[in-house]
Amino acid sequence: MLETKDIPDLSQEALAQMILTKHEKLLQQYERDLTYGQRVIILAEKLDQLEHWIRDARLGEAESYANKKRETETELRLIQDTLHTNRMPKNLDEKIAQQKAAIAYWKKR
């Protein structure tokens, strides 16, 4: 097994810092994906409500709701294009907690 003492140019502190940086980047990515995922859910519900209002609205109101629906669809597409992955991990909260625990561990090293 390769140990850090076998790598002359990499101190244990430098290795710990590299690992810490990796976990911090993953944490940022997971938190961003979670925020985007929550926004996707809200926008999907908004689209559903707007479709209902369009069906039930008078002509002038229907046009206004249709415009809002197009804006919402555009925002939804932009967010989906921004997401790191096409599928949101079901256990994203757990992954965030794991990254926070790893960061706390490596900060002590």
Span 30-81, pLDDT tens digits: 888 888 888 999 999 999 999 999 998 887 888 999 999 999 999 999 988 8
How many C-beta neighbours within 10 Å does residue 74 have?
Answer: 10
**Domain spans of the chain?**
29-102
Nearest alpha carbon to residue 42 among 75, 18, 20: 75
Say if residues 79 and 36 touch (Cβ distance below 8 Å): yes
Q: What predicted TM-score, i.e. pTM, was given to this entire model?
A: 0.66
Higher pLDDT, 86 or 49: 49
Measured between alpha carbons, how far is 52 from 28 in angstroms, rounded to an integer?
A: 36
